[in-house]
Each structure stands twice: as C-alpha cells, then as structure tokens.
Structure 1
Amino acid sequence: MTFSIVGRSPDGLSLGVAVASKFLSVGAAVPAVEVEVGALATQSFANLAYRVQGLAMLRTGTTAADTIAGLTAADPGRATRQLGVVGRQGPGATFTGDECFPWAGGVAGDGYAIQGNILTGADVVLEMEAAWLAEPGAPLARRLHAALAAGDRAGGDSRGRQSAALIVVRRGAGYGGLSDVEVDLRVDDDPDPVTRLGGLLDLWDLYFRRPDPATLLPLTGALADEVAGRLRSLGFADLAGWAGVENLEERLVEDAIDPLVLAHLRAATPDGAQG
C-alpha cells in the first residue's frame, strides 16, 4: 500500500526515511529513525512494533539484514509485511512477505533500502534507486525526496495518492542545535502529496538550513546602509529583531548577511520605502 526509501548519508552521520502512500497520515505509521543508530520503514499491514524493536536491535550493532531476520522470525504475520532497514554502517536490507499485494518488492545497497507494495510495477522501485544513486553528494533530505518523487512519477501506489512524509536526523542538526531531528515534514491528506512535500522542503531550506559560509555577504559599506534603511522602514532597529519575526533566525550570522535573508528583506521593502 506504500513505497518508501530508507537511507544514510555518505558520511554515516545522517539517517532518514521518505514514504508515500494512498493511506491517511502514512508518516504516523511507517518511519522510525534514531540518530547514530539507524532507520527503518514498516509497511504492508505495518507492524508498528517493528519500529521500537528494530531500533533496539540496531542500537546494539545488529546489521540491517540480521535486524530484518530477527523481526520477521518472531512475527506470525510476516508473510503480509514489508520492511526496509539501514544501520549506522554497511548495506541496507529489504524484506517483502510472500502474501503482500502485487506488485510488491524492493532493492537495497550500501546505505539504502527501497520497497513498495500495490505499486504500478517494478519500475517504481528501480526509478527510485536510480534517482538515489544519481546524486550521492546531495543533502540527505533532498536525496530521499528525489527518490520518492522518481517513484511517484513512475506510477507509485496503483490505488492513487494521499499522503507522504520525510524525516532526517543528524546529531545537533535540529532547530537551534538543541535537537537531532533535522527535517520532519508530513503531508497527511493531499491529492499530490509528494509534490506538496517537496514544496515544504523548499520552505524548510529557506527557514532552517544554515547558510553556506561561502555565500555570505559582509555587512559593510553600502550594503550595511541599505539593510539598515530597509529595517528602519519596517520599524526594526536591527536585523535580529526582524529576522525573528520572519522566522529566519537560523540564517543569521555575525557581521554578514545570508543572500536568502537579503532577498527576503528586499522583497518586504520596495526600494522607494527605505527609511
């Protein structure tokens, strides 16, 4: 009833899951992830106990393949289950029970596992794999979404579209550096959830991704005067005050400005309105 990808970044520090389905709030059921431990997706009559049990096994250093073997061996309903697992290192693993509704199957490799059931065909998971392998240097959230979007374009769930979700963890990568949940986005009920999820990821990039140091613009001279004038026209004494109201505080840096923040400020202040 679902197609998903479980993945790990090349440096092994980021772990995540992306999933889509003709199922309400698929993100509430399928994914489980723990920083520096592993990630999994349970689907096709999902056994939600797999989430806690699987992460517990991965926490001890159990491989992805052995985690699947242990979980399914103890489950009398395993013939109807589908599962993908990635650990902190090594190859991912995928499992499809013999009684899953067709088309059902999966592929796995170093740092990823892709699986789906009730799909339009095998090309869904194959296109997902190709998209995953095409951009090894992309941020994990982007790479996972690219794979999910490729599966969606290839046909996805044969019953239609309803929900999608994306979660990525990395130590200290959450808001304010005080959480390990870097990205956690869900589209629970939408006619085009994978596209909508991509739009939310764009917004996440704007508001929460830390700026690239190579792109920062020094706040000196004419640029400093421009920024100060635009802030005055909006009633703010400093950049921090305005950025906090606009939810751009994660993009603030000392003595410089992120080009995305500058563009947002310029869009909020027509040139003739500078004070």
Structure 2
Amino acid sequence: MTFSLVARCPETGRFGLVISSSSPAVAARCAHARAGVGAVASQNVTDPRLGPLALDLMEKGARAQEAVAILAREMAHPDYRQVLVVDRHGGVAIHSGARALGVWAEATGVDCAAGGNLLADAGVPRAMVAGFEAAGGALGDRLMAALRAGLVAGGEAGPVHSAGLLVVGEQDWPLAELRIDWAEEDPIGALGAAWAVYAPQMEDYVTRALDPTAAPSYGVPGDE
C-alpha cells in the first residue's frame, strides 16, 4: 500500500526520504532518518521498530547491506516486511519479504533506493530512481521529483491519501519533516505545496535554533 524512496546527498551528507500510501499518516510510521547515519523506510504491514533498529546498526558501523541482512535474520515476520536503507557511504539495500502485498518491486540507483507494494505497475520504483537521478536542486527537490515520478508511473493500485518528506542535516533534529496525514485527493500535490513554502525558510529555522541573533525576521507581529 506504499511507495517510497530513500536517498543520500553526497555533496552535503544529508539524508532523506519520501513516501506515499493509501493508508493514513504513512510517514508517521514508516519514515526514519538520523543525521550522519542514514535513512530507512519500513513499510508493508509496517513494524515501526525496524527503522530505529537499522539506524542503530549503522550508527555502530554496519553498512546498509549488513544492517538489512541482520534485520532479515532477526526481525519478527520478515516475510511481511519491506525495508529500504541508505547509509553514510551512499550504500543501499532493500529487504522485500515474500508476502509483500500485491504487485511489489524495488530498484536501486546512485545514493538511492526505491520500493513499493500493492503497486499499479512494477516499474514504479525504477521510475522513482530515474526521477531522483535526473532532478536537480536540493535533496528535498530531488526527493519530491522522485515521488511525483512514482505517481506518474502508476503509484499505488488505488488512490493514495497520505504522503511525507523527511530530511536530516547536521543537527539532531529533522531539517524538514513535512506530512500530509490524510487528504481525500492528491496528498502528493499538497506535500509539494508545503515543501515549496518551507524550503526557502528551512535553513533560517536552523539559524534561529543555533543563533537567534543571526536569524532573519519574517515581519510577523512582535518579530522585529
């Protein structure tokens, strides 16, 4: 019921992912990333514990393929799970269990991996990778391009209702964490609109946290 892409930006060292589903609040359960470590999408009959477990393994030195291999051996009900991982070196790995729902597929590219289940077309993950690799701009822009490419390629077999974008930078908190937890129509379009508003201000919110004296004013009442 989900399609997603995890990625690393080699220029900035940032990690991120995009995800969409017919289920509500998909990013709240499935999107995981940690600064300096990597990004993980854990989906298909979701076990939200798998994202932090994979990130812990990579923080201790495991690469993406090793982390996924450990999870595949040790997780409960591996046949029902789909896990996508990218590490600090740009390495990627995917576990797709034999009981992944409906039409499922996966694809890898340079610094990115995509996967999905209950897809309208098995080519969706490959289209997402191609969209990510062809796009320019910041990591968030490239992630949104991947998500739109997945939708154009068919997306999920039914209508999607939630979508999310997560990016981590140098700090312990997310650089961007945008979610459309439920929309009757076009959550990906709504997510893109939210990103278009947030992206120009994103770095300023980091400055406000680290050094408010250097942060710009947005002209709201009381903010001078």
- Normalised by the length of structure 2, the TM-score is 0.88
Equivalent in 165, 169, 176 of residue 183 of structure 1: 176
Are positions 1:245 and 2:220 aligned together? yes
How much does 1:207 deviate? 3.3
Match runs of 1:67-216 below 5 Å: 67-135=67-135, 137-172=136-171, 180-190=173-183, 191-209=185-203
Q: For residues 147 and 222 of structure 2, what CA distance do their matches in structure 1 show?
A: 28
Give CA-to-partner distance per residue, 1:58-101, whole Å, 9 cap, x none: 10121111111111111241111101000111321112111112
Q: For residues 209 and 90 of structure 1, what CA distance do their matches in structure 2 show?
A: 23
Secondary structure of the residue that 2:10 maps to in structure 1? coil
Q: For the aligned residues, what is the CA RMSD?
A: 2.0
Give the structure with the higher percent helix.
Answer: 1
Partner AA of 2:220 in structure 1: V
Count of residues paired in the alignment: 212
How much does 1:161 deviate? 1.1
Secondary structure of the residue that 1:204 maps to in structure 2? helix
Are positions 1:66 and 2:66 aligned together? yes
Q: CA separation of 1:207/1:11 partners in 2, compared to 1, >3 Å: closer, same or farther?
A: closer
How much does 1:208 deviate? 3.1
Segments of 4+ in structure 1 off by > 6 A? 246-249
What is the match of residue 57 of structure 2?
Answer: 57
Q: CA separation of 1:248/1:27 partners in 2, compared to 1, >3 Å: closer, same or farther?
A: farther
What is the match of residue 226 of structure 1?
Answer: none
How much does 1:12 deviate? 5.3
**Greater relative contact order (Cα < 8 A, sep 6+):** 2
Report percent identity of matched pairs.
31
Q: CA separation of 1:208/1:90 partners in 2, compared to 1, >3 Å: closer, same or farther?
A: closer
Secondary structure of the residue that 1:93 maps to in structure 2? strand
Partner AA of 2:75 in structure 1: D
Give the structure with the higher percent strand.
Answer: 2
Q: CA separation of 1:101/1:133 partners in 2, compared to 1, >3 Å: closer, same or farther?
A: same
How much does 1:109 deviate? 3.0
Structure 1: gaps of 5 or more residues? 173-178, 211-239, 250-275
Q: CA separation of 1:203/1:90 partners in 2, compared to 1, >3 Å: closer, same or farther?
A: closer
Partner AA of 1:10 in structure 2: P
What is the match of residue 256 of structure 1?
Answer: none
Q: For residues 248 and 192 of structure 1, what CA distance do their matches in structure 2 show?
A: 34
Q: CA separation of 1:248/1:103 partners in 2, compared to 1, >3 Å: closer, same or farther?
A: farther
Give CA-to-partner distance per residue, 1:141-188, whole Å, 9 cap, x none: 11111101110111111121100000101114xxxxxx6421110001
Q: For residues 55 and 71 of structure 1, what CA distance do their matches in structure 2 show?
A: 11
